[in-house]
Structure 1
Amino acid sequence: MSFTPRNLVRFGLTAALLSTTALAACGGESGEAAGEAGESAAISENQDTAAMSGEDEGEMAGASGEMGEGEGGEGEGGEAGGHDTGSLERHNRLAFMRGHVEAGLALYRAGAVEPASVHMMHPVSETHAAEREGLDELGFKSNLFVNISEALEAGTASDEIESQLKEAEENLADMADQAGGDPVEILDFLMETTLEEYRIGVVDGEIVNAGEYQDAFGFVRVASDYAADLEGEDGDAVRAELARLQAMWPEAPVPGSDPAPVSEIAAQVARVQLELSGLR
C-alpha cells in the first residue's frame, strides 16, 4: 500500500489518538493526566505531520495551533480568547456572534429561557457592540433581534415567535454570504474557538461554566452551515467529521447535560481540521 502525505497525517493522528484512549482508560488522577498528555500528543502529531506534507496537502492547523488575531474563547465583556472581538476580521466576528445566537435559539426552543437570553444579548447589548461593528451594511436586522430578546424577557414561548427565530437565522446566514472570507479559515477559527471554550466550560468531566459549554455547541452548529458549500470528497469528509462532533452534544445544551470528555472533543476537532487540510 502506498502512503500519500495525507495518509501519513491520518496514520500519525490515529496512532496518537489510540494512545490517548489507552492511557485515559487507566482511571484516577494518573489516568486523567495521561489522557490529557495523549490529547496533546495527538494534536502535536496532527500539526507536525501536516507540516511535512508539502504542496500536495498544504499547511494544517492543529486543534490548538496558530490563532488569528483576537481568536479564542469568549470572556467577559464580549471578548474572544482574552482579546477584544472588535479586533477580529468582520467575517470571523460575524461567525462568533452567530455561534452565540445559534446556542441561544437552541436553548430557547428547548424551553431553557434564562440561559437562552444570555446568549441572545450578543446581537443587541451595548456590552457586545464591538462584535456588531460594520454589520449594518451587511443587512443586519437589529430590530428583529431586539424583538426576540424582549420576547425572551417576557417569557413568550418559542413556538409563538418561531417565524421570527427562523428569520433571524436566515438574516445571519445571508449576512455571512455578504461578508465573504475563506470558509476554510473561518472553520478553523470556529474549531479553535470551540475547543478553547469547551475547555473552560468542562473540567474533570463536569460542566463548570454552562455558558462556555453552550457557546462551543453553537460554534459547531454554525460551522456546519459554513461547511455546506465545500466541494468534492474533501468537503464531504469535513461535513462527516463535523456531524460526529455535533453528536457529542445533546440536541440542545440545556443545563444538566452530560458533557463529553475534553480529550474526546479535542480529538474530534483535530479530525475536522485534518479534513480541512485537504481544502487548502
Structure 2
Amino acid sequence: MYEKRKVWLAVGAAVLGTTAAQAAQADLEPLQQQNMTIVAPFAGAGEGEGEGEGEGSGVVDLRVNDSAYLARLGLIRGHLYVGKKLYDQGHLAMAKTHMKHPEDELYAALVPAFSARGVEGFGTQLSALADAVNNEQGDDAVNAAYDDLLVAIAATEQVQEKAVKDVLMSLSTMLLTAAAEYDIGVKSGEVVNVHEFQDAYGFTTIAKARIGELTEVQKDANAAALAEVEEILAGLPELWPTITPAGTVEGDSSELYGAAARIELATLN
C-alpha cells in the first residue's frame, strides 16, 4: 500500500539519521528495494501491537520519538492541506481522496502516542471534516471543520515545547517522503499519478510552514541552523505549477531529496 510505504519512509528517516543523505543520491526503485530496518512504530507497546512491514532491528516509537511523531502529524496535515486547497478550487472529487478518518492508518498509529503524551488527539475533528467534504455539506461547514481541526492538530503537536533539532528533522523526513511521492507521481516529465503528485505538494508545503510555528525563544537559540534551513527551503524550485496538472511538468525529485539531506546535515551539525 502506498500509505504504509509513506509511513515507513517518513518515520525511517527520523530514526536512521543518515537516510535522507543516502536518499538524496538514490532513485525511488533502489530506495524501495532497500531494507529500511523499520520494524514497527510501537514495538514493545504490547504483544502484536504495531506490527509493520520490512525487516531489521530499527524501532521507532511515536510515544517518545518527537521527530518521527511530528513527521507523522505533518503527513496528515499535508493530506488535509492539499485536500482543502482542491476543495477551494472546486475539485471536489479529488478533495475527497485526501480526506482522512480516525480509522486511517496514519492516524490510528498515533493513538497510543497521544495517550502516552497526555494529549487528546483529533479524531472527532478529523471525522467532522471528512464528513463535511464527503457529504458535501457546503463551504461554511467545511471551512469551520477545517479550522477546528487545525487547532486540534496544533494542540497535539506542541511544536513550541519540542527541541528545535527534532522539529527540523521532521522537515527533512517530510521532504524525503515528498520526494518519494513525486517520483511516483512524475515519470519523464509526465504526471502519471496525480494523487501522489498532490501528496508531495502537501507534504512540502507543510514542511515549509512548520518553522513559523516556533517561538522567538526557540528561533533565537537556534538562529544559525534555522537560517541555513530557511535558505534551503527558499531555494526549492517550483515543482507544482498547478496541483491539477495535465500533460508534462518540469520538475525533478532530486531537488527534494537534496533539500532533505541538507536539512538533516544542518540539524546534525
Give the TM-score of the pair, scaled to structure 1: 0.61
SS in 1 for 2:244: coil
CA distance in 2, matches of 1:276, 1:167: 32
CA distance in 2, matches of 1:166, 1:257: 34
Report if aligned partners of 1:238, 1:276 keep a CA contact under 8 Å in 2: no
Report if aligned partners of 1:63, 1:195 keep a CA contact under 8 Å in 2: no
SS in 2 for 1:134: helix
Which amino acid is the alignment partner of residue 133 of structure 1? V
Equivalent residue number for residue 136 of structure 2: 155
Measure how far apart 1:174 and its partner are. Answer: 2.4
Which amino acid is the alignment partner of residue 256 of structure 1? A
Report if aligned partners of 2:189, 2:249 keep a CA contact under 8 Å in 1: yes
Equivalent residue number for residue 151 of structure 2: 170
Report if aligned partners of 1:201, 1:212 keep a CA contact under 8 Å in 2: yes
Which amino acid is the alignment partner of residue 79 of structure 2? H
Q: Quick one: structure 1 residues 240 and 112, their matched pair in 2 at CA, closer, same or farther if it must change by over 3 Å?
A: farther
Equivalent residue number for residue 206 of structure 2: 222
Equivalent residue number for residue 103 of structure 1: 82
User: C-alpha root-mean-square deviation of aligned residues, in Å?
Assistant: 3.5
Q: Percent identity among equivalent residues? A: 22
| Deviation by residue 1:153-188 (Cα, 9 ceiling, x = unmatched) | 222444553232122123222211279571232122
Measure how far apart 1:276 and its partner are. Answer: 4.2
CA distance in 2, matches of 1:70, 1:247: 35
Which amino acid is the alignment partner of residue 201 of structure 2? F
CA distance in 2, matches of 1:110, 1:173: 25
- List aligned pairs for 1:105-120, cutoff 5 A: 105-120=84-99
Equivalent residue number for residue 243 of structure 2: 253
Structure with greater Cα Rg: 1
Equivalent residue number for residue 232 of structure 1: 223
Residue correspondences, number: 208
Measure how far apart 1:198 and its partner are. Answer: 0.8
CA distance in 1, matches of 2:202, 2:72: 14
Report if aligned partners of 1:242, 1:272 keep a CA contact under 8 Å in 2: no
Measure how far apart 1:217 and its partner are. Answer: 0.9
Equivalent residue number for residue 3 of structure 2: none
Report if aligned partners of 2:173, 2:260 keep a CA contact under 8 Å in 1: no
| Deviation by residue 1:108-138 (Cα, 9 ceiling, x = unmatched) | 22222212211112x4345655434325532
Measure how far apart 1:246 and its partner are. Answer: 7.1
Q: Quick one: structure 1 residues 93 and 267, their matched pair in 2 at CA, closer, same or farther if it must change by over 3 Å?
A: closer
Alignment partner of 1:64 out of 20, 23, 29: 23
Unaligned 5+ segments in structure 2 are 1-16, 25-30, 41-51, 63-68
Which amino acid is the alignment partner of residue 135 of structure 2? A
| Deviation by residue 1:55-103 (Cα, 9 ceiling, x = unmatched) | xxx97942616967379xxxxxxxxx9669xx75420332332222222
Q: Quick one: structure 1 residues 101 and 132, their matched pair in 2 at CA, closer, same or farther if it must change by over 3 Å?
A: farther
- List aligned pairs for 1:188-199, cutoff 5 A: 188-199=172-183
SS in 1 for 2:152: helix
Unaligned 5+ segments in structure 1 are 1-57, 72-80
Measure how far apart 1:233 and its partner are. Answer: 3.6
SS in 2 for 1:140: coil
Alignment partner of 2:112 out of 126, 130, 134: 134
